[in-house]
Amino acid sequence: MRNHLRGVRAMLIGLWMAIGTVPAAQAPTPQAQPMFLKLEEVKWDKILPDLGEFSPEIAILRVDHKTQATQLLIRTPKRIHVRKHWHSANETHTMIIGKAILECEGKRVELGPGGFNYMPARMVHEAWLPEGSLTFITVDGAWDVNWVEGAPTAADISK
pLDDT of residue 124: 98
Beta-carbon contacts of residue 152 (< 8 Å; ≥ 6 apart): 48, 51, 80, 81, 82, 83
State percent of the chain over pLDDT 90: 78
User: For the stretch 41-63, what's the b/e string if a residue is b when 16 or more beta carbons lie within 10 angstroms of its beta carbon?
Assistant: eeeeeebbeebeebbbbbbebee
Neighbour tally for 28: CB within 10 Å: 7
Query: Distance between CA 81 and CA 56 in Å, rounded?
Result: 11
- Comparing 23 with 96, the larger pLDDT belongs to 96
What is the tally of structural domains in the chain? 2
Are residue 50 and residue 77 in the same domain, yes or no?
yes
Q: At 70, which CATH number?
A: 2.60.120.10
pTM for the full predicted model: 0.78
pLDDT of residue 6: 47
Are residue 78 and residue 12 in the same domain, yes or no?
no
